């Protein structure tokens, strides 16, 4: 390659890699696989080596991707969190071994451990207690996510035993198990919200949430894999992990000492197949020299340790034929295209369908009828089409165009600016939306009406007995008992469930209405702040967004919902049937205005109450919780280990800093 072409290619690769870095670390929405990214990076590294005059100081080869967030305090790492060099073949692993043996002439062992696909975390312990949790960030500094990490039950807050170092750091991976991920997506689907792509992105996004209660509800898990500190007495990495297990840390049982390269290869080959039986996502194996003395001798490059390498598994994929594209209409009217495929075996399961997500994906793939497509199991769970083999495209094959009208009711589809999905706006007349709203209304986390499920709703709708949620309360025993596969006992069970639903609390009734973007958490926030449906119905967008955690999209959706007279009529009928549309008096009795008009920022850890309890007490007494310090902040409620940047900001603005005891006196 001549100099001019090399310079152009370096510029092109730099731009591509910067974009992919941003998608991966900032948006948590990668658009290419890790393997494709690494191949682009390797190409750039080689070009910069051959043409060093074009290698810039800000090249992607000179930096570690960042997941820093302005919403969290940034903390420097005592020991940099570097990335690992990658290997994709046994030959590259053998090269890694040869490089070490040129430096180390004595015998040594390797430790092989599974590379979990989650979000890296650094945990700091002092005197046996967790004092700080920091994300990887840019490798030099990361975000302080201690409050969120404290909700992860597999991470000990206080260590077991007494032979741990006085101060040390342990690193690991925060991840979301497949079952939790699938359950969460099911809940989101019921709530009419956008589904999550994969467990890795979900774990990373959850770790950066502002509400620790939501983090706790998402049941994150963690595996720890590396200990750092001064004067650590154990030389063996494997042995130190076993000791960490005694202290209460979750260490993977699938970690082996390997005496030689053959044993390393046996481990790689075994887990290349067996990984699909694990409850969490893995994308490779990390191979480390066991002895920490040898690790110190080998040292580091600018980006990675010389004593470790990550062997990356190839994603399971296959080529198959696209038979057709069908379209599904969800409860909220979102239209999702689905690729129907010739059955193909991937990662131990037969795949017949793959989501195409939205119109942009179809356009980007340049999908045509009867195309041969490459299918991959993203995150080992959701089948997705990653590309098209254009060389196999039949002549005169027509391009797949996204539909213009709803496949169920024929209404012209709409697309809101800034959103990827097309929607059917006929939300009160489109059959899948009508049935979907009823299924959501009766679901366990909404009204929890016993005996009413998807099949029964379908039966009631097809027989003309119900055409919306209000019709459910008009059902009679005679109507129900006369249906196929339904007797008197089943009819009584449904009617008893409908009667019991009249005592379901307001926040769940609000969630059950199926307002777009109003999930469980948002419904609770609205109920807690506004207390009744009357206080919600006529609020403006500005009034709604003034409530903490209510953003523009949620506010716009609420205003849009209540702009329709038919929705006011639904609420009127449900009220007449006895449903709860206000917070009960016993919940209101403890509310006061002692903190009305006061804005609080909470920082640090506390002795008598958790941060969430303190936040509830502030709101219960009329105050408001805010995330960052500004001139509008009334008080900073400070505990132990208050963030230094917050302390500096409070002093700079002259904001009063109060203790937990000071705060409790305000409530006396």
Average pLDDT over every residue of 631-643: 85
| Alpha carbon 467 to chain centroid, angstroms | 35
Give the fold, CATH level 3, of 317-392: OB fold (Dihydrolipoamide Acetyltransferase, E2P) (2.40.50)
- Architecture in CATH of 599-666: 3-Layer(aba) Sandwich (3.40)
Average pLDDT over every residue of 36-53: 86
The pLDDT score that the predictor gives to residue 516 is 86
Assess whether pLDDT exceeds 80 at residue 327.
yes
| Residues written for the chain | 668
Higher pLDDT, 70 or 404: 404
Annotated catalytic residue: which of 115, 141, 288, 524? 115
Confidence of residue 70 (pLDDT cuts 50, 70, 90): low
Give pLDDT tens digits for 288-323.
Answer: 999 999 999 999 887 889 999 999 988 777 899 999
The pLDDT score that the predictor gives to residue 65 is 45
**638 and 614 in contact (C-beta within 8 Å)?**
no
Give pLDDT tens digits for 88-122.
Answer: 899 999 999 999 999 988 899 999 999 998 999 99
Backbone φ/ψ region at 476: left (φ over 0), alpha (ψ -120 to 50), beta: beta
Higher pLDDT, 567 or 183: 567
Assess whether pLDDT exceeds 70 at residue 548.
yes
Residue 61 CB-density burial (10 A; 0-12 exposed, 13-18 middle, 19+ buried): buried
| Alpha carbon 550 to chain centroid, angstroms | 19
Cα-atom radius of gyration of the chain, to the nearest Å?
Answer: 28
**486 and 480 in contact (C-beta within 8 Å)?**
yes
The pLDDT score that the predictor gives to residue 529 is 86
Give the fold, CATH level 3, of 431-583: DNA polymerase; domain 1 (1.10.150)
Interhelix angle for 3-21 vs 34-50, to 10°?
Answer: 150
For the chain, give the percent of residues with pLDDT over 90.
51
The pLDDT score that the predictor gives to residue 293 is 92
Higher pLDDT, 193 or 205: 205
* Domain at 3-62, CATH homologous superfamily: Helix hairpin bin (1.10.287.610)
Average pLDDT over every residue of 15-20: 81
Q: Which of 51-60, 72-81, 202-211, 462-471 has the highest mean pLDDT?
A: 462-471
* Chain region(s) in the chain for CATH 1.10.150.20: 431-583
CA distances in angstroms from 585 to 531, 577, 582, 591, listed in the order given: 10, 20, 9, 10
The pLDDT score that the predictor gives to residue 24 is 67
Comparing CA positions, the residue from 514, 529, 440 lying closest to residue 186 is: 440
| 528 is known as an active-site residue | no
**48 and 10 in contact (C-beta within 8 Å)?**
yes
Contacts of 597 (CB under 8 A, 6+ apart): 622, 634
Give the fold, CATH level 3, of 74-312: D-amino Acid Aminotransferase; Chain A, domain 1 (3.30.470)
The pLDDT score that the predictor gives to residue 286 is 97
Q: What distance in Å separates the CA atoms of residue 540 and residue 543, rounded to the nearest whole number? A: 5
The pLDDT score that the predictor gives to residue 596 is 86
The pLDDT score that the predictor gives to residue 201 is 85
Q: What DSSP line would sit under 599-655, residue for residue?
A: EEEEESB-SSS-HHHHHHHHHHTT-EE-SS--TT--EEEE-BT--HHHHHHHHHHT-
Comparing CA positions, the residue from 428, 492, 435, 496 lying closest to residue 463 is: 435
* Chain region(s) in the chain for CATH 2.40.50.140: 317-392
**Range in 4-13, 195-204, 402-411 with the lowest mean pLDDT:** 195-204
The pLDDT score that the predictor gives to residue 586 is 63
The pLDDT score that the predictor gives to residue 418 is 72
Beta strands (DSSP E) in 276-380 are: 282-289, 308-312, 317-329, 334-346, 349-355, 372-378
CA distances in angstroms from 528 to 23, 267, 555, listed in the order given: 35, 53, 16
Assess whether pLDDT exceeds 90 at residue 646.
no
Assess whether pLDDT exceeds 90 at residue 240.
yes
Assess whether pLDDT exceeds 80 at residue 658.
yes
Average pLDDT over every residue of 515-522: 87
Q: What distance in Å separates the CA atoms of residue 447 and residue 580, rounded to the nearest whole number? A: 11
* Chain region(s) in the chain for CATH 1.10.287.610: 3-62
For the chain, give the percent of residues with pLDDT over 70.
93
Average pLDDT over every residue of 272-290: 91
Assess whether pLDDT exceeds 70 at residue 441.
yes
**Range in 305-319, 536-550, 630-644 with the lowest mean pLDDT:** 630-644
Beta strands (DSSP E) in 483-564 are: none
Give pLDDT tens digits for 151-201.
Answer: 888 898 888 888 999 999 999 999 999 889 888 877 776 655 667 777 888
* Chain region(s) in the chain for CATH 3.30.470.30: 74-312
Q: What distance in Å separates the CA atoms of residue 443 and residue 138, rounded to the nearest whole number? A: 43
Average pLDDT over every residue of 521-531: 88
Assess whether pLDDT exceeds 80 at residue 130.
yes
Confidence of residue 587 (pLDDT cuts 50, 70, 90): low
**261 and 97 in contact (C-beta within 8 Å)?**
yes
Average pLDDT over every residue of 335-361: 87
* Chain region(s) in the chain for CATH 3.40.50.10190: 599-666
């Amino acid at each position: 390659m001549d100099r001019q072409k090399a310079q152009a290619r370096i510029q092109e690769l730099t731009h591509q890699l910067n974009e992919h870095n941003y998608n991966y670390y900032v948006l948590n929405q990668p658009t290419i696989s890790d393997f494709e990214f690494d191949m682009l990076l390797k190409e750039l590294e080689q070009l910069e080596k051959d043409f060093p005059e074009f290698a810039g100081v800000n090249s992607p080869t000179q930096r570690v991707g960042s997941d820093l967030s302005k919403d969290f305090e940034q903390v420097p790492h005592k020991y940099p969190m570097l990335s690992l060099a990658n290997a994709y073949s046994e030959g590259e692993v053998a090269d890694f071994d040869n490089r070490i043996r040129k430096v180390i002439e004595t015998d040594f062992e390797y430790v092989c451990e599974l590379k979990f696909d989650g979000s890296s975390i650094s945990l700091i312990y002092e005197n046996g207690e967790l004092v700080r949790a920091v994300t990887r960030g840019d490798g030099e500094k990361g975000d302080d996510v201690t409050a969120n990490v404290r909700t992860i039950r597999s991470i000990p807050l206080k260590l077991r035993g007494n032979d741990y170092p006085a101060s040390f750091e342990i690193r690991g991976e925060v991840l979301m198990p497949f079952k939790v991920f699938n359950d969460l997506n099911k809940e989101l689907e019921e709530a009419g919200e956008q589904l999550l792509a994969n467990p890795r992105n979900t774990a990373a996004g959850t770790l950066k949430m502002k509400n620790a209660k939501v983090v706790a509800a998402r049941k994150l898990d963690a595996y720890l894999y590396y200990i750092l500190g001064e004067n650590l007495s154990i030389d063996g990495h494997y042995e130190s992990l076993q000791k960490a297990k005694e202290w209460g840390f979750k260490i993977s049982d699938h970690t082996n000492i390997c005496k030689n390269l053959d044993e390393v290869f046996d481990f790689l080959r075994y887990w290349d197949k067996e990984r699909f039986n694990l409850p969490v996502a893995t994308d490779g194996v990390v191979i480390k020299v066991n002895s920490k003395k040898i690790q110190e001798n080998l040292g580091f490059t600018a980006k990675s340790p010389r004593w470790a390498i990550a062997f990356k598994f190839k994603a399971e994929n296959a080529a198959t034929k696209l038979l057709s594209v069908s379209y599904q209409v969800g409860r909220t009217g979102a239209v999702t295209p689905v690729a129907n495929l010739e059955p193909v075996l991937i990662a131990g399961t037969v795949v017949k369908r793959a989501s195409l997500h939205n119109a942009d994906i179809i356009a980007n793939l340049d999908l045509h009828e009867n195309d041969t497509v490459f299918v991959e199991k993203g995150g080992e769970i959701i089948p997705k089409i990653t590309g098209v083999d254009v060389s196999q495209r039949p002549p005169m094959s027509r391009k797949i165009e996204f539909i213009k009208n709803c496949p169920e009711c024929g209404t012209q589809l709409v697309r809101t600016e800034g959103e990827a999905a097309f929607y059917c706006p006929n939300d009160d007349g489109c059959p899948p939306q009508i049935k979907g709203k009823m299924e959501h209304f009766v679901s366990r986390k909404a009204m929890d009406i016993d005996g009413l499920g998807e099949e029964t709703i379908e039966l009631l709708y097809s027989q003309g007995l119900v055409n919306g949620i209000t019709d459910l309360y008009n059902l009679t025993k005679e109507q129900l008992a006369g249906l196929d596969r339904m007797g008197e006992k089943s009819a009584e069970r449904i009617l008893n469930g409908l009667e019991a639903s009249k005592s379901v609390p307001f926040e769940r009734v609000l969630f059950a209405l199926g307002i777009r973007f109003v999930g469980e958490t948002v419904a609770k926030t609205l109920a807690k702040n506004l207390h009744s449906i009357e206080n919600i119905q006529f609020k403006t967008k500005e009034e709604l967004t003034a409530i903490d955690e209510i953003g523009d999209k949620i506010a716009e959706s609420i205003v849009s919902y209540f702009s329709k007279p038919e929705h006011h009529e639904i609420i009127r009928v449900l009220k007449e049937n006895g449903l709860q549309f206000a917070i009960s008096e016993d919940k209101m009795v403890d509310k006061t205005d002692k903190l009305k008009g006061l804005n609080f920022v909470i920082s640090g850890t506390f002795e008598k109450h958790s941060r969430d309890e303190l936040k509830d007490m502030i709101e219960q007494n009329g105050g408001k919780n805010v995330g960052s310090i500004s001139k509008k902040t009334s008080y900073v409620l400070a505990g132990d280990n208050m963030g230094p940047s917050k302390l500096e900001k409070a002093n700079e603005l002259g904001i009063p800093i109060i203790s937990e005891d000071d705060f409790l006196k305000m409530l006396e």
